[in-house]
A and B are shown apart, each in its own frame.
Chain A
Amino acid sequence: AEPEPAAAAAPAPAAAVPAPAPLAGPTAIRSANILTLQDASAEPGYAEQSNAQRAQVQPGNNAPVWRQVGQGVSGTVNMPYAEYGTLIQPTVQYPGTRAASAGEAWRQLRNQVLLPYGAALLLIVALALGLFYFTKGPLGQEHPPGQGQAIERFTPFERAAHWSNAAAFLTLALSGLVMAFGKFFLLPVLGSTLFGWLAYALKNLHNFVGPLYAVSLLVMIATFVKDNIANRADFQWLLRAGGMLGQGQVPSHRFNAGEKGIFWWAVTIPGLLLVASGLVLDKLVPGLDYFRADMQLAHMVHAALALLSCALIAGHIYMGTVGTRGAYRAMRTGYVEPGWAREHHELWYQDIQSGKIPARRSQSAPAKPRVPISVNPVSRSNP
């Protein structure tokens, strides 16, 4: 950064350029064509030269400046706005993309990796669930109500937490998926004006429901975390792949390993990360600069996890509805038949039987039954 150019450099161009038109005088410059000049790369330290030094050996070769630009070096701008100094985003490369300017690389990752693979994942999951349903049908037995004294599986609070969280998630998923894929399946149907309005509405819904989801997610985690800690029974469950292998259901506590898996790997961990990245995308985290690079990163995390958790939650929803007999009622009413409990969560059922866990936990629920509820074993074999 010495303002005075190195004195010795003045004669250098002539030496470095043996071409018939040396860069000495103005007339020489005029007729010299840069395309025909021999390059000065033999100069010591050529590659490390600053633009000023380069100008001495190769007048007008601004490669050092353009290199800086490519590296995302920020220049000076008068206006006090973020990133105005960046001419071109620096080059990056993500798995599955070419090395390109960050925005372009992000575009490639989104358009060529996240969206297609995400879409594929979702389609595969849908297909698999459908196949599963048609080959295996709903799991478990029917446990018509009234066969015993119902057990309170979810308190009203737990249900409220679940459903608000579920509603938020579904809203987010739906709106998010429209943002991600709407232009492929909705736009051609609705046309751009209508689709524009829809997408606009959903996008804003997404942006505002996101923070709500964040709250409900925390409540949800707090509510259910206790019963989702892994224990020995879960190994059993996993070893038998949740009952797919071998005979009958695998005994489990209140939640089986599959549900725990959903809890941790489809809800808690991706949820927290989705919330975190979503809050960044929403520019709600104080103290962040929200540069484009931050947004790209947040978006990639967000989109990847969103698609992943959509796929997993799709599985959960399947299991919570048509996939398992009686599960949905549990979450809707809060109560399960003792038979259902024994069938699906035998260990939990035993705990209730032994009084370790009260059968009714909520205040609003009917008073606790004094005698352990007995289940008629016959009902199992006699539908």
Chain B
Amino acid sequence: MARMKFICDAERCIECNGCVTACKNEHEVPWGVNRRRVVTLNDGVPGEKSISVACMHCSDAPCMAVCPVQCFYRTDEGVVLHDKDVCIGCGYCSYACPFGAPQFPGQGTFGVRGKMDKCTFCAGGPEENGSQAEFEKYGRNRLAEGKLPACAEMCSTKALLAGDGDVVADIFRTRVVQRGKGAEVWGWGTAYGSKPAKPQGDAS
């Protein structure tokens, strides 16, 4: 079974925010909630690098581990999803997530945050695939439609790769060899453990 992963190729990402907007468009995510964002390091000086980041769908997901109501689950493809009906909006997942992926519609005063929202790898949620309820809570379920994440599909430079971990790693490796540089796979160590090339089992 495919193990879905993201790679953002820092040698290519130009901070165009195409991925961010694609996500907003596809899932009609409200203002203030951003499943994806682009960060630039060394801004304005040589060596500048931009990175697009969203939920990485970690193998041993901290968010999942801390959720008091255990509303996270993992699909066969390794996508980390959650159940908004069960979520109590406590914010723990956002404290735990190394990438700052979980987002909340509310400000959190008196702990009122609303239901957590995060990148679903465009795989919807526990509702029936493609249902209205699924769309309203989680956005579209592209995986069920045989499509890959909107953000990666629309990435302006194909910096953002999404798909089966082995395949995207291969693509990335090809590029690295081609250009002879830029070998780091951003965030893979944190998200998937120390061996980036091999997808981890689901049962971690």
Contacts and interface: CB of A to CB of B under 8 A. Distances in A.
A and B touch in the complex (CB under 8 A): yes
Contacts, number: 202
A5 B46 contact: yes
Interface in A36-79: 37, 50-55, 58-66, 68-69, 73, 75-79
B146 interface: no
Interface string B46-68: 11110101000000001001111
A299 B40 CA distance: 30
Interface in A185-201: 187, 192-193, 195-196, 199-200
A54 B45 CA distance: 13
A23 interface: yes
18 contacts: A23-B180, A51-B41, A51-B47, A51-B48, A51-B49, A60-B179, A62-B49, A65-B49, A75-B43, A76-B40, A78-B17, A84-B100, A87-B187, A179-B88, A187-B70, A199-B69, A206-B111, A295-B91
Interface of B: 10-11, 17, 32, 34, 37-43, 45-49, 51, 53, 62, 65-71, 83, 85-92, 94-100, 107-112, 176-184, 186-187, 190
A361 interface: no
A259 interface: no
Contact of A79 (B37, B83, B89): B37
B184 A103 contact: no
Interface stretch (A213-221, A225-233, A267-275, A282-290): A282-290
Interface string A172-184: 0000001110110
Interface residues of A, number: 78
A3 interface: yes
Contacts of A335: none
A261 interface: no
A196 B71 CA distance: 8
Interface centre among B37, B48, B97, B98 (most CB of A within 10 A): B98
Interface of A: 1, 3, 5, 23, 29-35, 37, 50-55, 58-66, 68-69, 73, 75-79, 81, 83-89, 101-104, 106-107, 110-111, 178-180, 182-183, 187, 192-193, 195-196, 199-200, 203-204, 206-208, 211, 281-284, 290, 292, 295-296, 299
A63 B184 contact: yes
B187 A88 contact: yes
Contacts of A69: 41, 186
A65 B65 contact: no
Nearest to B43: A76
A77 B10 contact: no
A196 B42 CA distance: 43
A203 B151 CA distance: 34
Contacts of B69: 182-183, 187, 192, 195-196, 199-200
Contacts of B107: 283
B108 A283 contact: yes
Given A1-B45, A58-B181, A295-B95, 19 more contacts: A30-B178, A33-B177, A34-B182, A50-B42, A51-B47, A59-B180, A60-B181, A76-B41, A87-B99, A178-B68, A183-B70, A196-B71, A196-B88, A199-B68, A203-B111, A208-B110, A281-B111, A282-B111, A283-B108
